[in-house]
Structure 1
Amino acid sequence: MEQELLQEIVSYWGTRAEGYSEVNEKELAGSQREAWLHVLEEQFPEKKKEEMKILDIGTGPGFFPMILSEAGYTVTAVDYTEEMLEKAKENLGKYTKYGLERVTLQRMDAQNLEFADETFDVVISRNLTWNLEKPEQAYQEWMRVLKPGGVLLNFDANWYGYLYDEEKKEAYEADRKKVEEQQLDDHYLCTDIDRMENIARQVPLSAMERPAWDTKVLESLGVCSIQTDSEIWKRVWSEEEGLNYASTPMFLVRAEKSAEQSFQLGDVTVRRGEKYQAASEDGLWYPAAKPGDMVTEGGPVVAYGRIVREPEYDDRKEQIVHYWEKRSESFLEQRRSELANPIAKRWMKEIEKQIPAGRRLKILDVGCGAGFFSILLAKEGHEVFGIDLTPEMIENAIQLAEEENADCCFQVMDAENPMFADETFDVVISRNLTWTLPNAEHAYGEWMRVLKTGGVLLNFDANYGKEDVADTKGLPEAHAHFKVGNEMLEECERIKSQLPISRKNRPAYDVAVLCENTAGEIRIDTSLGKRIYLEKDEFYNPAPMFSICAVKQ
């Protein structure tokens, strides 16, 4: 499916090459040319023009290479669409006196760059990130090819946020009306808007609040300095652009790569890209891959390292992700069966009793696993986002949603640090997750943060910390715990023993935490399990499950 989406994106932009080039020609002929050059140069690192190597990613018809090469810079420009590169080549010959003398054009995927590490002083991009399938991976690649002290400049906007937010939709429609009243060209209606919206629904960033999302991703990559400017559009847009895109203002994300060349701990010095291991320094290693890192099969690990020494380093999340990674395939099979079982209707009955009725809700499924709740809710017509820290779980959720023809959006994300703006969702829902979290209090605070006022947090869990999962007496022969094996069950017990929530009295603990986190009305139901698990079958859960319903005040 990913390859099909990529080809659809490429095909669409191939049809836009001519029109996009005309937009660039207007920019070159007007004051925007100098405005853009000034904005770029003031962000560049202090280095002589002739020594600076610049990479323009998603160059389109070549606007940035044209203005930069004319100003004396050497630029490498990449795009995945052949038609765009042909237009860029044509425009460089037509609108610059140097042509391709200072510019190298290459066809390349922005998410899988073919350049060596630390090649460029500057990486720039405009209006690209929003339509990438794997924007986190793209950011990793862009930072990888930057030299130490190099600068990433990304200009983008929340272009299709109106597909997921009613207020943004109203603002978008107001833009269309104002443009029509002033008899200007409507930049949206000049394109195949239905086709573009279909693509926008399939890529993750349309649903994210940016540039907050970008900042968190870059922070997770260990970037030295991150700055955002949400008013950069005022300096580079024409009046017509300002009216067309008033509800989607362009922002700038500037990220500077650390100039640090080596790390030192005691007598040990490790240079960038090197690995050190010694018996006397147990646990000392570099680089480190974090939970949620997306690694292409057969390719290199893209990660930023750290030197750590116990007890300073907390690896509990990595243990948890590793555990659920090993259980992901059996989990997929169980959820596939569960969706076809009468138990699915029982779950929906319990959920519907707690959430607002009669309207389409924006719902966040936290710790979605293989997507059971996400799929059920999407089939009821709700707009659902599922997040999980285990990449394999997300891959399986996407697969299962396709099988069920359910329209959901899934993304690898930490349940304790969801990358959404305040008051984004009507409902936050979770099942059997809280007991696995190292910092459940922080997680509850974040879930309440992303809820709208009056929104509902619905958490289904059990006091698993006090249950011995290795004790399988009384379980039916077909139960999943028999398929997992004793070694995995014992691993689960080891992880539980490290989590503070395992020693709490639940759900009393949860209620106390929620009372401190903007929760108004809180409802507890400790008899949930008796209504869900009517048969001792493969889905049977012997632990007494409870539900917590908290309304944000």
Structure 2
Amino acid sequence: MIEKQIEKYWDERSQGYSTSIQEQMNSPKKEVWKSLIKKYAGEGDKIKAMDVGAGPGFFSILMGELDYGVTTVDVSEDMLKEAKKSMEYAGFQGNFVKGEAHQIDFPDQSVDLIVSRNVVWTLTKPEETYKEWRRLLKPGGKILVFDSNWYLHLSDPELQKQYNYYRRLAIEKGLIDEVTEEQHKRVEEIAKELPLTYRKRPEWDQEVLTQLGFQEIIIEDNINEWIYDEAKQLLYTSIPQFILCASKNEK
């Protein structure tokens, strides 16, 4: 099953990805990410937040620094172990839950905020996931999604051409690839089995969230300049990172 392949892939990437997250913790970009969360969600210890697909816990730590109460969710047991270590090292307590994004063992209307970064594209059931997140949110609660059309180029020859071109430029600018060629091939094979590889986003997300009754949907289409260094800005020219924030209706 594709779900098992995804879980295995991220288990194997957990330690390397954790090292990458530690580098981000020591980067000036950390404050950029934190400011973006704060911009849409505010700050304070009354906010109950959930970091879904948390990986090694970068966003969980950022939300801890904003005084949120944080629940960290991931399908990978190894990623959760890394997140727990990272949170404890940063001086924060948290609640850690292993589970699929579309099926989280948590009560209805129990969180104020659900945040995810580079997660929704990996989902086998993205519509069910957004429905599940709506169930978990209190009235007036928000989802905050950071993502991109990561593998749309696999089904679009023009995008593939652009991606290859900018990748060459990025390597010339000094890009150091953190992923091996074998890992690139494996994740591309996984991506071919995922529904959002073939959908233009965030337009798809906006349509689905509107149908589910979310309101005040705010989108920023391209935040690359804020979150990436020069080489990665080049690399991701054709696949910019977007922000999507949506509120659950009060009723």
TM-score range, shorter chain: over 0.9
Residue of structure 2 equivalent to 1:381? none
Residue of structure 2 equivalent to 1:492? none
In 2: Cα distance, 1:247 partner to 1:24 partner? 24
**Partner of residue 185 from structure 2, selected from 179, 189, 194:** 194
Q: Normalized per residue, which structure has more helix?
A: 2
- 1:330-479 residue pairs with structure 2 within 5 A? none
Question: What is the total number of aligned residue pairs between the two structures?
Answer: 251
**Partner of residue 168 from structure 1, selected from 152, 156, 159:** 159
- The DSSP-based 3-state class of the residue aligned with 1:49 is coil
* Structure 1 position 30 matched with structure 2 position 27: yes
**Partner of residue 129 from structure 1, selected from 116, 120, 123:** 120
Does the aligned pair in 2 maintain the 1:186–1:244 contact within 8 Å? no
In 2: Cα distance, 1:191 partner to 1:124 partner? 30
Residue of structure 1 equivalent to 2:81? 86
Structure with the greater relative contact order (CA < 8 A, sep ≥ 6): 1 or 2? 2
In 2: Cα distance, 1:238 partner to 1:67 partner? 20
- 1:97 alignment partner AA: G
In 1: Cα distance, 2:219 partner to 2:35 partner? 17
In 1: Cα distance, 2:159 partner to 2:213 partner? 32
**Partner of residue 230 from structure 2, selected from 223, 239, 244:** 239
Structure having the higher Rg: 1
Residue of structure 2 equivalent to 1:59? 54
TM-score between the two structures when normalised by the length of structure 1: 0.44
Residue of structure 1 equivalent to 2:91? 97
- The DSSP-based 3-state class of the residue aligned with 1:34 is helix
Q: CA deviation at 1:13?
A: 0.7
In 2: Cα distance, 1:10 partner to 1:126 partner? 17
- 1:23 alignment partner AA: S
Residue of structure 1 equivalent to 2:69? 74
- 2:165 alignment partner AA: A
* Structure 1 position 141 matched with structure 2 position 132: yes
- 1:75 alignment partner AA: V
Residue of structure 1 equivalent to 2:104? 113
- 1:161 alignment partner AA: L
Q: 1:180 to 1:189 in 2, by over 3 A?
A: farther
In 2: Cα distance, 1:232 partner to 1:175 partner? 17
- 2:37 alignment partner AA: L
- The DSSP-based 3-state class of the residue aligned with 2:73 is strand
- 1:212-291 residue pairs with structure 2 within 5 A? 212-260=203-251
Segments of 4+ in structure 1 off by > 4 A?
187-191
**Partner of residue 194 from structure 2, selected from 203, 213, 217:** 203
Q: CA deviation at 1:188?
A: 5.1
Q: CA deviation at 1:92?
A: 1.6
Encode CA deviations 1:383-405: one digit per residue, 9 max, x unaligned.
xxxxxxxxxxxxxxxxxxxxxxx
Does the aligned pair in 1 maintain the 2:71–2:96 contact within 8 Å? yes
Residue of structure 2 equivalent to 1:454? none
User: Runs of 5+ in structure 2 lacking a partner?
Assistant: none
Q: CA deviation at 1:232?
A: 2.5
**Partner of residue 159 from structure 1, selected from 150, 170, 184:** 150
In 1: Cα distance, 2:49 partner to 2:126 partner? 20
Residue of structure 1 equivalent to 2:5? 8
- The DSSP-based 3-state class of the residue aligned with 1:56 is strand
- 2:40 alignment partner AA: Q
- 1:171 alignment partner AA: Q
In 2: Cα distance, 1:184 partner to 1:167 partner? 23
Give percent identity, aligned residues only.
Answer: 35
Encode CA deviations 1:320-372: one digit per residue, 9 max, x unaligned.
xxxxxxxxxxxxxxxxxxxxxxxxxxxxxxxxxxxxxxxxxxxxxxxxxxxxx
Q: CA deviation at 1:26?
A: 1.5
RMSD across aligned positions (CA): 1.5
Does the aligned pair in 2 maintain the 1:187–1:244 contact within 8 Å? no
Q: 1:36 to 1:190 in 2, by over 3 A?
A: farther
User: Runs of 5+ in structure 1 lacking a partner?
Assistant: 261-553
* Structure 1 position 181 matched with structure 2 position 175: no
Q: CA deviation at 1:187?
A: 4.6
